């Protein structure tokens, strides 16, 4: 329930939001994927494009280390639960983000499910629109191969995998292992998963906060790469489950996570806030044209005003 003080304070700012904020894009937060770094040229170009498409956009690229090499290494090694907590602190302490009425969020590959975890676990500042591209929301059942035999960070991760996916040691240190999900080893996954089983509310005891925070989204756009052979299965980008033997796909709407609304995905879908989108090509093969369309659709100044006022009301309920 809204307390009267909240109603009065929000009503006092709604008229201003409907005018001034309708011309000012919300800040945009980006979380990159495995093997990337916040200082990478490609990410800097994405940030620049976001500002060009929606002038005035403040872009913050999430980083887990100040150095280029350290940030890249953190995509392979680290405790994801602790990393998400670190990002919660990072965004809450960033002056421009923490004083904004809300932010938009863009996650590339594993950065997508990590941003969703941020929303579920802290969401301060609150996320207005979330877009994930090629993200492994329902996990992976195959680890991607290292691009180069000389990539010692990646090779070190592979060596850890041989130690045992479900060991406490690996589950607290190897990032991709923490969103590995094999239905043929489902009991081990539920018991040992350090990250994914928790944020997907798959265990018997559900976290009501996760659902409450996720349904507060104004819009959730899930993009899948049509020919993706890096994130396996590709349908994980849409929370679908794939039989490893037959290849049969069980869509999100056919699964208990949706039917019983463990995370609020059914609620979002019934409200028209859940988008299933397809991108042609392989994993993370993004064109400027596509990104321009996404930025205009999900992150433009048009999401301010009345739309933002309604969103703020949901945050205070």
| Catalytically annotated residues | 109, 228, 283
What CA–CA distances, in Å, run from 11 to 96, 311, 317?
23, 13, 14
d(CA 254, CA 231): 22
The answer to whether the bond into 294 is cis (omega within 30° of 0) is: no
Contacts of 117 (CB under 8 A, 6+ apart): 80, 84, 195, 199
Q: Are 224 and 278 in contact (CB under 8 A)?
A: yes
Phi, psi of 33 (to 5 degrees): -100, -170
Tokens read off for 293? 């369309």
d(CA 292, CA 52): 9
The answer to whether the bond into 116 is cis (omega within 30° of 0) is: no
d(CA 237, CA 257): 15
d(CA 215, CA 267): 7
Phi, psi of 316 (to 5 degrees): -95, 0
Contacts 24+ apart (CB under 8 A), 148-157: 151/35, 153/35, 153/72, 153/73, 153/76, 153/77, 154/35, 154/76, 156/76, 156/77, 157/76, 157/77
d(CA 81, CA 63): 15
In the block, tokens 């292992």 appear at 177
């Amino acid at each position: 329930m809204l307390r009267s003080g909240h109603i009065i304070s929000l009503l006092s700012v709604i008229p201003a939001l409907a005018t001034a904020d309708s011309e000012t894009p919300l800040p945009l937060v980006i979380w990159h994927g495995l093997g990337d770094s916040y200082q990478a040229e490609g990410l800097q170009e994405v940030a620049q494009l976001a500002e060009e498409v929606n002038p005035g956009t403040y872009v913050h690229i999430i980083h887990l280390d100040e150095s280029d090499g350290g940030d890249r290494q953190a995509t392979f090694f680290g405790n994801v639960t602790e990393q998400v907590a670190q990002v919660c602190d990072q965004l809450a302490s960033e002056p421009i983000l923490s004083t904004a009425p809300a932010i938009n969020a863009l996650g590339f590959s594993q950065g997508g499910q990590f941003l969703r975890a941020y929303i579920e676990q802290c969401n301060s500042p609150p996320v207005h629109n979330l877009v994930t591209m090629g993200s492994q929301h329902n996990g992976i059942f195959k680890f991607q191969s290292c691009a180069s035999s000389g990539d010692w960070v990646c090779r070190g991760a592979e060596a850890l995998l041989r130690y045992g996916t479900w060991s406490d040691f690996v589950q607290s240190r190897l990032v991709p292992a923490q969103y590995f999900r094999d239905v043929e080893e489902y009991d081990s996954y539920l018991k040992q998963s350090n990250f994914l089983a928790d944020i997907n509310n798959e265990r018997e005891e559900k976290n009501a906060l996760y659902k409450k925070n996720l349904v507060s989204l104004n819009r959730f756009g899930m993009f899948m790469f049509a020919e993706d052979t890096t994130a396996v299965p590709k349908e994980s980008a849409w929370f679908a489950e794939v039989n490893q033997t037959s290849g049969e796909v069980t869509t999100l709407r056919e699964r208990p996570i949706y039917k019983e609304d463990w995370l609020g995905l059914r609620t979002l879908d019934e409200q028209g806030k859940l988008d299933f989108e397809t991108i042609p090509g392989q994993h993370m093969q993004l064109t400027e044209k596509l990104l321009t369309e996404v930025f205009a659709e999900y992150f433009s100044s048009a999401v301010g005003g009345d739309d933002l006022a309604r969103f703020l009301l949901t945050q205070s309920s």
